[in-house]
Amino acid sequence: MNDRSLSRRTLLAATTATAATAAVAAGPSAAAVSAVDSGRHTDRLKRLISRMSLEEKVGQLFVSRVWGHSATDPEQGYAELNLRDFGVRSAAELVARYHVGGIIYFSWADNVREPHQIADLSNGIQRAGLAQPTPLPLLISVDQEHGAVTRIGDPVTQFPGAMALGAGRSRKDARSAGRIAGAELAAMGIHQNYAPVADVNVNPANPVINVRSFGSDPNAAARMVSSQVRGYRSAGVAACAKHFPGHGNTSVDSHTALPRILHTREEWSRIDAPAFRSAIAAGIDSIMTAHIQFPALDASEDPATLSPAILTGILRGELGFDGVVVTDALNMKGVLTKYGEARVPVLALKAGADQLLYPENLALAWNAVRDAVLGGELTEDRLDESILRILRLKDRLGLLRDPYVTHPGVDRTVGIPEHLDTAAEIAERTTTLLVNKAELLPLSRRRQRNLLIVGSDPNPAVRQNERPVAALRKAFAELGFTPTALPFEKAPTPAQIDQAVAAAAGQDAVLVTTYNVDAASSQRTLVSRLAATGVPVITLALRNPYDIARLGDVSAALASYGWSAVELRAAARVIAGRIEPEGKLPVPVLRADTPTAVLFPAGHGLRYHD
């Protein structure tokens, strides 16, 4: 029996397709019929839940990672890692033992080699789900925000990240990016994407959100968030707004510590809440919690992930969200600082969470939740509430009818020319020109043909020809320039700076890529030494647009907000004058010497022909 007939045989007896679209504007009778159908549908899902064992119910709440590119036949090294971490060899065995409701893919876990492999892994995981005593598909997820957080690379279509889209200021572009990204994920069997970021980045020192945010304006961010949500939903993928109640004003990374947000309740309502309200109004399927203290919202100062006042009182009660609440990863120090690994999943459920994402020790967390039910701290009814929300989402996504994908479906959807062209067009509207002294830019192939490209490569783990400096060298060569590439890691050594200064001799211009420049960064020395040679220096901020505040006197400066190939090609085309710089800063850039003074306001962005 093939996968499709298996899915129908095991699932159609338990549930039917959702009737969410039945309530069209056709009068009271249509609404009444819809209410009846919805009630019957909920009853079917509840009967499905009633057939589940306690162990299956506990498992449905967890979203786990797993090692390897195959559900049943991982390479030996990954089988050993799975045995070490989970006591099983493969994803299929993990599903069978723990009955998990979801799996999250990571590139470092070798889950995402290429689209056909991803589709096969997804199908293998779904087969394991449907082989359980109570056959249930899994909700497979990924962190594919695009920009700074991208788990799946080429040939999947790459889009500019959130802050770049914020610089482009187009709701249509945000929606198109969500629709296309969602369609490609769905074709590979991934139906939940932990995006968009709804945090409003009002702190330039924010080490964890930063360019993952659409910007510093709450209303502009809200508009972009709702547009992306609608794009993902139109593609049949569950978007996930994060990180509630708002992670934008912190200088601490919740991966390594517990941040503390000091917004007042009024400031939260004005700054942090609008994007989440907008996401809910747009039909957001899931919202991710933040591992942050927010004293104005919860006097206990428990992390928001573990706070009934925040998750149940505000998110459920005040904002009226009845979708799936997913925790941020439960292996992060921000949530583990106050309580231990065994208490965190239980407290998250008591607070109002539905999905428990990525506990470091799955067996410990799983047993803690089961023991809490057996000991009376949690009730099965409480688990059933979350499972019903999860099953409703799986059903809305079509997983209860047919969770499988095909290679032809991948080929028709993933990385097709139409999608790549749209991504390139969107990227060309995001590059922001901040400084252009003496109208140095655009560069002329006749007068400034020889170009030295030097600077940081943020991700040395990727292949050399995919790194930013190499990608820029290729882009400028295709544009008719004669580029020389000189890459180094994020912080150049004195010897590398000397090498760059020597290489600048005889060049018509130098393009320096920068990455998160701070007061002590040797990138500042590199730029000043190159500027002293008299060769015009152009800087391109690969991540933070704030870099320019610490770089001194340069001839021209731009921000790309990311270093994906599509963003770098767009930046090269702007520098070469093939397109106009259209991006506008979505955040203000403050002066480094006087942090209360604005160097460039939000909305700043130069053009060549104003």
Strand order in the sheet with 356-357: 324-326, 286-289, 238-244, 192-193, 139-142, 102-105, 62-64, 356-357
Cis bond upstream, residue 245 (ω within 30): yes
Residue 11 has pLDDT above 60, yes or no: no
Gap between the Cα atoms of 337 and 574, Å rounded: 46
Gap between the Cα atoms of 430 and 139, Å rounded: 33
On whether the CB atoms of residues 326 and 353 are closer than 8 A, the answer is yes
CA 397 to chain centre: 20
Gap between the Cα atoms of 188 and 542, Å rounded: 29
Residues in Cβ contact with 404 at an 8 Å cutoff, skipping those fewer than 6 apart: 3, 4, 7, 123, 126, 189
Per-residue confidence (pLDDT) for residue 15, from 0 to 100:
43
CA 362 to chain centre: 23
Per-residue confidence (pLDDT) for residue 446, from 0 to 100:
87
Query: Regarding predicted confidence, which is higher, 252 or 187?
Result: 187
69 is catalytic: no
First CA to last CA distance, the chain: 65
Mean local confidence (pLDDT), 4-26: 40
Tens digits of residue pLDDT in 267-314: 999 999 999 999 999 999 999 999 999 999 999 989 999 999 999 999
Choosing from 255, 371, 384, 402, the catalytic residue is 255
Tens digits of residue pLDDT in 201-245: 999 989 899 999 999 999 999 999 999 999 999 999 999 999 999
pLDDT band at 9 (very low <50, low <70, confident <90, very high): very low
The pairing of beta strand 192-193 with beta strand 139-142: parallel
Gap between the Cα atoms of 454 and 512, Å rounded: 5
Residue 462 has pLDDT above 70, yes or no: no
Mean local confidence (pLDDT), 571-595: 96
Tens digits of residue pLDDT in 262-271: 999 999 999 9
For residue 516, what is the DSSP state?
S
Scanning 428-518, the segments in alpha helix (DSSP H) are: 468-478, 494-503
Rounded percentage of the chain residues whose pLDDT exceeds 70: 92
Residue 6 has pLDDT above 80, yes or no: no
Choosing from 143, 217, 328, 354, the catalytic residue is 328
Q: How many CB atoms lie within 10 A of CB 410?
A: 22
Q: CB-hemisphere CA count at 13 Å for 65?
A: 21
pLDDT band at 74 (very low <50, low <70, confident <90, very high): confident
Query: Regarding predicted confidence, which is higher, 430 or 30?
Result: 430
Mean local confidence (pLDDT), 574-591: 97
Gap between the Cα atoms of 317 and 552, Å rounded: 50
pLDDT band at 35 (very low <50, low <70, confident <90, very high): low
Gap between the Cα atoms of 282 and 111, Å rounded: 31
Question: Which pTM value belongs to this model?
Answer: 0.93
Mean local confidence (pLDDT), 327-340: 92
Residue 469 has pLDDT above 70, yes or no: yes
Mean local confidence (pLDDT), 184-191: 98
Structural domains in the chain, CATH included, are 3-16+26-413 (3.20.20.300), 431-600 (3.40.50.1700)
Gap between the Cα atoms of 530 and 240, Å rounded: 44
Closest by CA to 71, choosing from 123, 136, 108, is 123
Tens digits of residue pLDDT in 117-168: 999 999 999 999 999 999 999 999 999 999 999 999 999 999 999 999 999 9
Residue 460 has pLDDT above 80, yes or no: no
Strand order in the sheet with 482-488: 432-436, 556-559, 537-541, 509-514, 450-456, 482-488
On whether the CB atoms of residues 587 and 206 are closer than 8 A, the answer is no
Closest by CA to 586, choosing from 167, 221, 196, 162, is 167
Mean local confidence (pLDDT), 584-610: 93
Closest by CA to 292, choosing from 303, 306, 308, is 303
Mean local confidence (pLDDT), 55-84: 96
* Residue 470, CA distances (Å) to 354, 490, 568 in order: 44, 15, 10
Residue 217, both tokens: 């304006």
Residue 536, both tokens: 């015009």
Closest by CA to 544, choosing from 576, 518, 510, 579, is 518
Per-residue confidence (pLDDT) for residue 463, from 0 to 100:
53
Residue 62 has pLDDT above 80, yes or no: yes
On whether the CB atoms of residues 220 and 586 are closer than 8 A, the answer is yes
Residue 25 has pLDDT above 50, yes or no: no
Gap between the Cα atoms of 57 and 366, Å rounded: 10
Residue 23 has pLDDT above 70, yes or no: no
Per-residue confidence (pLDDT) for residue 34, from 0 to 100:
61
Mean local confidence (pLDDT), 402-421: 98
List, in sequence order, every residue forming a beta bridge with 454; answer none if it has no partner. 486, 512
Closest by CA to 109, choosing from 139, 138, 86, is 86
| Of 13-17, 31-35, 109-113, 538-542, the least confident | 13-17
Gap between the Cα atoms of 58 and 599, Å rounded: 53
- Would you call 310 helix, strand, or coil by DSSP? helix
Residue 4 has pLDDT above 60, yes or no: no
Per-residue confidence (pLDDT) for residue 29, from 0 to 100:
56
322 is catalytic: no
- Would you call 400 helix, strand, or coil by DSSP? coil
On whether the CB atoms of residues 291 and 301 are closer than 8 A, the answer is no
On whether the CB atoms of residues 394 and 137 are closer than 8 A, the answer is yes
Residues in Cβ contact with 455 at an 8 Å cutoff, skipping those fewer than 6 apart: 468, 469, 487, 488, 511, 512, 513, 514, 515, 523, 526, 540, 542
Query: DSSP of 24-57, one letter per residue?
Result: -SS-HHHHHHHHHHHHHHHHHHHHHHHTS-HHHH
Mean local confidence (pLDDT), 308-321: 98
Mean pLDDT of all residues belonging to the chain = 92
Gap between the Cα atoms of 469 and 513, Å rounded: 8
